[in-house]
Chains A and B, each alone.
Chain A
Amino acid sequence: MSEMKKIKNLKEFSTSADRFEGANLLCPGCAHSIIVREVLNATNDDMILSASTGCLEVCTAVYPYTSWDASWIHIGFENGSTAVAGAESMYKALKRKNRLKQPERNPKFVSFAGDGASYDIGFQWISGCMERGHNIMHVVLDNEVYANTGGQRSSSTPIGSSATTSPAGRVSYGEKKNKKDIVSIMAAHGIPYAAQVAPNKWKDMVKKIQHGFSVDGPVFINAVSPCTTEWKFDPKDTMNITDLATDSLVFPLYEIIDGHELNITYRPKNIVPVEEYLAAQGRFKHLFKDEYKYLIKEWQDRVDEKWAYLQRREESRV
């Protein structure tokens, strides 16, 4: 049987034994490490982890050091999900052949990847893993940009964001395309569990991760990971920005069970205007010029529309 952690409060959480060391090279204020700790702290079971190439990978395993106290693998940018799927296949084979060294253990297989490695270059690999039904969890650390290489746009970069390959300029407001709805796409594989999470709502996140570990089959988690460097906010404000993301409903928190049953898991008591979320980040600064203010209105409309859609999906139970 799998062993889940019972954590009552944030203090207990923050002092809980850790398999991800604080000794890493991530930026001060980076949400990646917070999310990773929340995922790893959701279980006492052994873990086999992977990271696709990206901030998390280059900041936690620079030879001859490692920040990982659980087995961990990195191959390339696109294939972290498949690396863990390969390990999970080996686990199944060795279990069947009675060759596991610790047969009583019940390992969890988790792949971490950025939005570039998930929405873009690793998309096919993740889809393959979801379709084949591996008992793995793929967690996207979604900072909406190729942060590790200096802020290029990905298909997760939202409209109006200034990225180095879709910069705001004299005649451009930055990124022109809407963010890909990856949770819906992955849920459409008919996987047992897909969810969107945020590190500020850690109880919601841990609950979802634990549910993900309890199901049989692939799990997809999209975690918003505010990036102090590329979103351009003060490192001390990471959780404030995350609060704005969840409370403006730019990042609604919900889950999709068995590919269709949608539950909203967080309803902000006071919904914050999207404008406040945008205004708190340097990447959207140019939107506040007179000629681009219509984009802020469009942003709000899109968020309202998506929220209404999620509620309709939840009510209809289909």
Chain B
Amino acid sequence: MAFDKMELEDIEVWDGNFAAAQALRQSQVDVVAAYPITPSTPIVEGYAQFTADGYVEGEFVMVESEHAAMSACIGAAAAGGRVATATSSQGFALMVETLYQASGMRLPIVLNLVNRALAAPLNVNGDHSDMYLGRDSGWIQLDAYCPQDAYDLNFIAFKVSEDHDVRLPCMVNQDGFMTSHTAQGVHTLTDDEAYGFVGEFKPMNDMLDFEHPVTHGVQAEEDWHFEHKARQHNDLMTKVFPKIEAAFSEFEKLSGRKYNMVEKYDMDDADVCVVCMGSSVETAREVATEMRAQGIKAGVVGIRVIRPFPFFEIAEALKCVKAIAALDRSSPNGAPGMLFNEIAGSLFNTDTKAMLSGYVYGLGGRDLTKAHLVALFKELQANVDAGKITTPLQQFIGVRGPKLAYL
């Protein structure tokens, strides 16, 4: 079968979906098993076209559901090779059972999760409900803020996930539509550079090694289940961070682009800051800069690695700030938001006296405007000026009707 390399411009105009599809092609994935769903469909379509045009040597399997997609990915990964897929929202929800199986079986798989709201009401637009749904599934989870990140983080995902000390699947999140369908300039790697970075797949416990039969997916009840789960958690907490750091630094050498567990923006002397994820990070950075012109020392912290959660890096990034807003783009449905809780946990045993408030925003693709963020930074500054939190701990941004505020 013909397998051709592709000539790319140094900078291509790609949306997040196409950037991810190109990264999968350049990583020479052995098996992509997938099922289309808005807004991740163009990743699968793009990859299908690469296959049809002879740029893919691996297998491309269009299955009958997202559950089957991840099931086939698990079978393929256990057989021993590079595996990837893409999905969003309801499809991701359908996959959830198998997500835990993939990670529990310690299989490297890369999943591009193009973030979208979860029904009901049915909604195709971007929020982080699906991302939050998967957060306890035992996967490594990276977050892209723009198409460039979506491209780069796929290479990093393969590198970390397939490392024999890690052997855990990895999600690359990007915002539905805001990132997935918004074309921007993307600095490319050549096919050889990209494949050189991810490297040849090195099998481990591969079913296709007939001289060494292996049993995958055993039963382990109260006598052994806990040890498996504890070891998986231990590896997430202790082994993954150094591998991600190493991959970030190697990628910087290759591309000049530096990623960090926690992306700090103007945080050195910030009094107030927001912590957020996805495309909102870029909006927040722009507004923070504008706030400084108005005399408010604003900063932004973006979470790059959602799982394992960079507990100490977050505390370090926030140690000098006076007021923090945690921005959650998923309905907490009866609790403070996930980011609020994680940040509170990171800071609790430190000396920081920072005030922490939570904001829920952007559900179902509702815009987070610069005006929203200006008001938010001013609210944080008011807290700093008053020396205490002057607003409820949990507020909703940009929702119709009377202002929603709790706690």
Pairwise interchain contact A71-B72, C-beta atoms closer than 8 A: no
Asked whether any CB of chain A lies closer than 8 Å to the CB of B64, the reply is yes
* Count of inter-chain pairs, beta carbons less than 8 A: 168
- How far, in Å, is B174 (CB) from chain A's closest CB? 25
Interface 1/0 per residue, A68-82 and B, CB below 8 Å: 111111111011001
Tell me which residues across on chain A come within 8 A of B218, comparing CB atoms.
61-63, 66, 74
Query: Considering the complex, which residues of chain B in the window 323-380 have a beta carbon less than 8 Å from any beta carbon of chain A?
Result: none
Tell me which residues across on chain A come within 8 A of B220, comparing CB atoms.
62-63
Pairwise interchain contact A102-B211, C-beta atoms closer than 8 A: yes
Tell me which residues across on chain B come within 8 A of A6, comparing CB atoms.
none
Given A70-B213, A87-B208, A94-B208, decide whether A63 and B219 contact each other with a Cβ distance below 8 A: yes
Pairwise interchain contact B207-A127, C-beta atoms closer than 8 A: no
A72 to B219, CA, bound (A): 13
Pairwise interchain contact B64-A128, C-beta atoms closer than 8 A: yes
Pairwise interchain contact B224-A72, C-beta atoms closer than 8 A: no
28 CB < 8 A contacts A-B: A58-B219, A61-B215, A62-B220, A66-B218, A71-B207, A71-B209, A71-B210, A71-B216, A72-B214, A73-B78, A75-B71, A75-B74, A79-B67, A83-B71, A85-B75, A89-B31, A90-B76, A90-B80, A93-B31, A94-B81, A94-B208, A96-B1, A96-B57, A97-B30, A107-B208, A107-B210, A124-B65, A128-B68
A89 to B62, CA, bound (A): 11
Tell me which residues across on chain A come within 8 A of B286, comparing CB atoms.
none
Asked whether any CB of chain B lies closer than 8 Å to the CB of A84, the reply is yes
Tell me which residues across on chain B come within 8 A of A105, comparing CB atoms.
210
- How far, in Å, is A189 (CB) from chain B's closest CB? 12
Pairwise interchain contact A90-B30, C-beta atoms closer than 8 A: yes
A85 to B75, CA, bound (A): 7
Asked whether any CB of chain A lies closer than 8 Å to the CB of B38, the reply is no
Pairwise interchain contact A82-B68, C-beta atoms closer than 8 A: yes
- How far, in Å, is A286 (CB) from chain B's closest CB? 35
Pairwise interchain contact B76-A48, C-beta atoms closer than 8 A: no
- How far, in Å, is A280 (CB) from chain B's closest CB? 32
The total of chain B residues at the interface (CB under 8 A) is 48
Pairwise interchain contact B75-A64, C-beta atoms closer than 8 A: no
Asked whether any CB of chain B lies closer than 8 Å to the CB of A57, the reply is yes
- How far, in Å, is B315 (CB) from chain A's closest CB? 37
Dominant SS among interface residues on chain A: mixed
Tell me which residues across on chain A come within 8 A of B101, comparing CB atoms.
75-76
Q: Told that A63-B228, A71-B209, A94-B30 touch, could you supply 17 new A-B pairs with CB distance under 8 A?
A: A64-B224, A71-B207, A72-B216, A73-B74, A73-B217, A83-B78, A86-B31, A86-B33, A86-B61, A86-B74, A89-B72, A90-B80, A91-B79, A96-B58, A97-B30, A102-B209, A124-B65
Pairwise interchain contact B76-A86, C-beta atoms closer than 8 A: yes
Pairwise interchain contact A76-B210, C-beta atoms closer than 8 A: no
- How far, in Å, is B214 (CB) from chain A's closest CB? 5
Asked whether any CB of chain B lies closer than 8 Å to the CB of A248, the reply is no
Pairwise interchain contact A82-B78, C-beta atoms closer than 8 A: no
Asked whether any CB of chain B lies closer than 8 Å to the CB of A215, the reply is no
Contact of B71 among A86, A93, A132 (CB under 8 A): A86
Asked whether any CB of chain A lies closer than 8 Å to the CB of B73, the reply is yes
- How far, in Å, is B164 (CB) from chain A's closest CB? 17
Asked whether any CB of chain B lies closer than 8 Å to the CB of A228, the reply is no
Interface size class of chain A, counting residues whose CB lies under 8 Å from the partner chain:
35 or more
Identify the A interface with B (CB < 8 A). Answer: 46, 48, 50, 57-58, 61-64, 66, 68-76, 78-79, 82-94, 96-97, 99-102, 105, 107, 124-125, 127-128, 131-132
A88 to B217, CA, bound (A): 17
Tell me which residues across on chain A come within 8 A of B65, comparing CB atoms.
124-125, 128
Interface 1/0 per residue, B48-87 and A, CB below 8 Å: 0000000001110111110110011111111111010000
- How far, in Å, is B31 (CB) from chain A's closest CB? 5
A48 to B216, CA, bound (A): 11
Asked whether any CB of chain A lies closer than 8 Å to the CB of B98, the reply is yes
Pairwise interchain contact B81-A71, C-beta atoms closer than 8 A: no
Pairwise interchain contact B64-A90, C-beta atoms closer than 8 A: no
Asked whether any CB of chain A lies closer than 8 Å to the CB of B268, the reply is no
Q: Which 4 A-B pairs have the closest CB atoms?
A: A86-B75, A86-B72, A128-B64, A90-B79
Contact of B98 among A50, A63, A79 (CB under 8 A): A79
Given A94-B208, A101-B209, A102-B210, decide whether A78 and B215 contact each other with a Cβ distance below 8 A: no
Tell me which residues across on chain A come within 8 A of B80, comparing CB atoms.
90, 94
Pairwise interchain contact A93-B216, C-beta atoms closer than 8 A: no
Query: Considering the complex, which residues of chain B in the window 155-214 have a beta carbon less than 8 Å from any beta carbon of chain A?
Result: 203, 206-211, 213-214
Pairwise interchain contact B213-A90, C-beta atoms closer than 8 A: no
Given A90-B76, A94-B30, decide whether A132 and B216 contact each other with a Cβ distance below 8 A: no
Pairwise interchain contact B71-A69, C-beta atoms closer than 8 A: no
Asked whether any CB of chain A lies closer than 8 Å to the CB of B97, the reply is yes
Pairwise interchain contact A90-B75, C-beta atoms closer than 8 A: yes
Tell me which residues across on chain A come within 8 A of B224, comparing CB atoms.
63-64
A61 to B208, CA, bound (A): 19
A48 to B64, CA, bound (A): 22
